[in-house]
Amino acid sequence: MHEGSITLHIAADVREIERLNRLVRQFGELHDVPSRTLYSVNLALDELVTNVILYGYEEGSEKEIAVKLETTKDGLVASVADEAKPFNPLNVAAPDLKAPLEERQLGGLGIHLVRSLMDHVSYKREKGKNVLTIRKRIK
């Protein structure tokens, strides 16, 4: 795997998700990121960015989301930065996956998926932005 980094800026529009997925795959291929690692990170980013678009910004917003990708000697690090209202998704309680469907609370599945796919997930509020960082080690 070759070390490198890139920051992608996408509009807060669900139609941008496909472009983001394509750019992440291209970055991964360029830097020889193993396909299993790349798949997991791309799926997690898809979930995180979709949530920012749907719940962080008002529909039709002119806002952007910055996605930074960085390869390290042992894995892939990605961060999602947005200017939405402060929100730490790591404070969302884990969903009760054993409860019957009709009794489950709405929400929480996306961040649960991200946590289960990644080796590390962290949040910080920095310079008026939510910044969620995910890390996936290469195994």
**Tens-digit pLDDT profile for residues 74-127:** 999 999 999 999 999 989 776 555 555 555 455 557 788 899 999 999 999 999
Tell me the whole-structure pTM to 2 decimals.
0.88
**Tens-digit pLDDT profile for residues 63-74:** 999 999 999 999
| Spatial distance between the Cα atoms of 42 and 19, rounded to a whole number of angstroms | 12
Candidate CATH numbers 3.90.1150.10, 3.90.380.10, 3.30.565.10, 3.90.550.10; the one for domain 5-137: 3.30.565.10
Burial of 48 from C-beta contacts in 10 A (0-12 / 13-18 / 19+): buried
| Spatial distance between the Cα atoms of 78 and 44, rounded to a whole number of angstroms | 10
Positive or negative torsion for Cα 102, 107, 111, 115: negative
Q: Which amino acid is at 6?
A: I
